[in-house]
Structure 1
Amino acid sequence: MGHRTPLYDEHVAAGGKMVDFGGWDMPIHYGSQIEEHHAVRQDAGMFDVSHMTVVDVSGTGARDYLRRLLANDVDSIETGRALYSGMLNEGGGVIDDLIVYKGDKDYRLVVNCATRDTDLEWMEQQAGGFAVDIRERPELAMIAVQGPEARAKLAALLEDDRRDAVENLPAFAFADCGDWTIAGTGYTGEDGVEIILPGHHAVALWKQLADAGVRPAGLGARDTLRLEAGMNLYGNDMDGTVSPLEAAMGWTVKFNEGRDFIGREALERQKEKGHHRLVGLVLEGKGVLRAHQKVITGDGEGAEFEGEITSGTFSPTLGKSIALARVPAGTKGQVRVEIRKKHLPAQVVRPPFVRNGKTVYKPL
């Protein structure tokens, strides 16, 4: 038996098929992954993301500590805003990707559950010399409400500052409303919010949302939605051996003059030498793109002409198979994907594939 979120009994009662995910018992779906996916794209869905790890970072040295720890720069955002960043090792590999929320005097990080132990150990190791307090918040739960009708359905259940935050927060902004943090973030490519709240409040909110017509959605829909949105999954599209430059995360790296973040020297060397890059693929015929399938680029064979799919699925929104793939720099046009010993054509594109319910990918 794995760890359970405060919403475990709600998942079971709703018919959720429970699976192990990073040591947590989580719902993969509640009967139909496809219907859950479409509910988020067309109306409103909700996800239990309480398995994510919330870490508060405070102290007079918190700013300097995070400017050293993260590849992105917390000074690039104002108070009340959120930032996406990689946390890198000395070789430039991604230990984890995370969201950091910048408060008046402190910061809140949300990191992946599968990397929790590694993350916390690394964060403590790097804290030497900084006046900083690092505190995990296991008593908190987290619910993501996503979709074109998500904000309206959620706001109708709330009052005062919570309702105002849900209705008016822009993307990647957040507001602390009592013991709730409401943020305009998500992992689906749709509008919506994520709510960090005390675990003992989570069941009541979940039930209210369900009664309001917000559909519970599991890990399966979360994965197809995030891939359509061109968002990376840790362990698939990047890990400790892959740099942000190789994972289409170069935009999150701030090479500020004088800021010596962990992994900077390795990334600067990689920029000079060149590197593979992450692109999107759309299969031109029948079949399903899956992780680890070989991608053959150009007209040649051999390692210099090969890449690999990192994440792949059938897109319910597009009705086509899509993927993220790491390929040699300069790859564009058409490639071939090896599926069951056949080489099938696929178009190289720039993700995301879908945003706000619309097709948005562009050929490269």
Structure 2
Amino acid sequence: MTATSQNSTTQTPKRTPLYQSHVDSEGKLVDFSGWELPIHYGSQIEEHDAVRTDAGMFDVSHMVIVDVKGSDAKAWLQKLLANDVDKLKIVGKALYSPMLNEQGGVIDDLIVYLMNEEATEYRIVSNAATRDKDMAQFHKVTEGFEVDLNEREELAMLAVQGPKAVEKLAQVKPSWADTLAGLKPFVGADLTDIEGQDWFVARTGYTGEDGVEVIMHGDEAPAFFEQLKNAGIKPAGLGARDTLRMEAGMNLYGHDMDESVSPYECNMGWTLALKDDRDFVGRKALVSKRQQAKDDNTAMKQVGLLLTSRGVLREGMEVTINQGSDNEQTGIITSGTFSPSLKNSIAIARVPASLSEDDKVQIDLRGKGKFVDVRVLKLPFVRNGKPQFDQ
């Protein structure tokens, strides 16, 4: 159950329009950020492997979809976000960006789509777990801007992912074939003329594989789910979603980043548009803190860790660098799991930026002073089903 409300009555998790589809598919349902969602449908490993080798689908209807309209929509987003929506030159193009607080920490990471040529309409897709503080920040920054925000709670979203995802989706929806064939990564297309109102498809995802995310009205989601399932696209749950995103080196909010973490510390520096003097929320503090961290040698960075011996790397474990030496340093594992693709444990960790390939990196797996060596890797671990490092 979720936390109790102010009147002390217990709140039950919310259900997406695909709740009954999960039940009918024998999904094991759990409470995830206040939503009742499947952790798996019998085998997390099989679901993971289906996405890596064929096609799988995830219910991501709990994500927050907000449509933004107004003459100041672009200017508002340029104030709100650390990345710059001016980069969006064609309708449907997507932009990944952190949204920062005044101290330069990450409130959330989200995707923005340009929805019309005049740059007066956009769509934001953000995380369910941060919904309340995201909406509060959106509205706070609207002061002084002519912009309207419309949260689209009636919509559902399915992520169809894997090397055969687009091919199988085109078989289910032949009328989409031309649209899908021309859809480049991080670009979306309105399907209203083909499928009806509220249908939208984008070549985005959270798995490190090819695929799309499809938005539709909630009432139409169960039938679509069944069509995909009948075409051999395997339903997959939160468990597989987590192992897939970790292999792909993708952050999970609240674990690998939060409001105390700078984008530079979680491998998101590439999302910061700093070349001009655009005054976005958190910019001044972000730049100042980065310089200070360099000056006092406290800068941190994100790396991948691979454990080739037995055991599992877990969130919260301390990373020890050059243990016992004069230059001993420490870091922290922010996400850890067993990788089904690599057959070893992997982790995402935040470590001193000065870490070099000559440093010895170890983990005390059981907290008893018995350190094991781990290999430091540049993320991602896996892309398009293949390891991204020499084995």
Residue 77 of structure 1 deviates from its aligned partner by 2.3
Aligned to 1:339: 365
Contact 2:320 2:328 (8 Å CA) reproduced: no
**Which of 113, 135, 159 is residue 150 of structure 2 equivalent to?**
135
Contact 1:288 1:314 (8 Å CA) reproduced: yes
Aligned to 2:348: 324
Contact 1:148 1:190 (8 Å CA) reproduced: yes
Residue 294 of structure 1 deviates from its aligned partner by 0.5
Q: Does 2:271 align with 1:252?
A: yes
Task: Go from structure 1 to structure 2 and tell me whether the alpha carbon gap of 1:146 and 1:266 turns closer, same or farther (over 3 Å shift).
Answer: same
In structure 2, what is the Cα distance between the partners aligned to 1:163 and 1:250? 36
Kindly, what percent of the aligned residue pairs are identical? 56
In structure 1, what is the Cα distance between the partners aligned to 2:327 and 2:25? 48
Aligned to 2:164: 149
**Which of 329, 349, 357 is residue 377 of structure 2 equivalent to?**
349
Contact 1:36 1:216 (8 Å CA) reproduced: yes
Aligned to 2:183: 169
AA at the equivalent of 2:43? S
Task: Go from structure 1 to structure 2 and tell me whether the alpha carbon gap of 1:25 and 1:303 turns closer, same or farther (over 3 Å shift).
Answer: farther
AA at the equivalent of 1:11? H
In structure 2, what is the Cα distance between the partners aligned to 1:266 and 1:36? 42
How many residues align structurally?
Answer: 362
Aligned to 1:230: 249
In structure 1, what is the Cα distance between the partners aligned to 2:171 and 2:387? 30
In structure 1, what is the Cα distance between the partners aligned to 2:313 and 2:263? 23
Q: Post-superposition, which runs of at least 4 consecutive aligned residues in structure 1 deviate over 3 A?
A: 299-304
Residue 362 of structure 1 deviates from its aligned partner by 6.8
In structure 2, what is the Cα distance between the partners aligned to 1:57 and 1:300? 54
Instruction: Provide TM-score, normalisation by structure 2.
Output: 0.90
Contact 1:57 1:106 (8 Å CA) reproduced: yes
In structure 2, what is the Cα distance between the partners aligned to 1:273 and 1:300? 28
Task: Go from structure 1 to structure 2 and tell me whether the alpha carbon gap of 1:210 and 1:253 turns closer, same or farther (over 3 Å shift).
Answer: same
Q: Considering only aligned residues, what root-mean-square deviation do their CA atoms show, in Å? A: 1.5
Residue 270 of structure 1 deviates from its aligned partner by 2.2
In structure 2, what is the Cα distance between the partners aligned to 1:39 and 1:279? 27
Residue 276 of structure 1 deviates from its aligned partner by 0.7
In structure 1, what is the Cα distance between the partners aligned to 2:301 and 2:52? 28
Contact 1:86 1:95 (8 Å CA) reproduced: yes
Residues 100-109 or 215-224, more deviating:
100-109
In structure 1, what is the Cα distance between the partners aligned to 2:380 and 2:213? 21
In structure 2, what is the Cα distance between the partners aligned to 1:10 and 1:302? 58
In structure 2, what is the Cα distance between the partners aligned to 1:249 and 1:145? 25
Contact 1:304 1:328 (8 Å CA) reproduced: no
AA at the equivalent of 1:338? D
SS in structure 2 at match of 1:238: coil
Aligned to 1:90: 102
Contact 2:336 2:348 (8 Å CA) reproduced: yes
Aligned to 1:263: 282
CA-to-aligned-CA distance 1:279-306 (integer Å, 9 cap, x gap): 1111131110110000001244799711
Contact 2:361 2:375 (8 Å CA) reproduced: yes
Structure 1 gaps, min length 5: none
Residue 273 of structure 1 deviates from its aligned partner by 2.0
In structure 1, what is the Cα distance between the partners aligned to 2:327 and 2:121? 47
Contact 2:322 2:328 (8 Å CA) reproduced: no
In structure 2, what is the Cα distance between the partners aligned to 1:116 and 1:249? 21
Aligned to 2:115: 103
Residue 60 of structure 1 deviates from its aligned partner by 0.4
Residue 330 of structure 1 deviates from its aligned partner by 1.8
Aligned to 1:10: 21
Contact 1:350 1:362 (8 Å CA) reproduced: no
SS in structure 1 at match of 2:239: helix
Contact 1:70 1:86 (8 Å CA) reproduced: yes
Q: Does 2:370 align with 1:359?
A: no
In structure 2, what is the Cα distance between the partners aligned to 1:338 and 1:126? 44
Contact 2:201 2:213 (8 Å CA) reproduced: yes
Q: Which has the larger radius of gyration?
A: 2
Residue 66 of structure 1 deviates from its aligned partner by 0.3
Residues 270-279 or 126-135, more deviating:
270-279
Aligned to 2:7: none
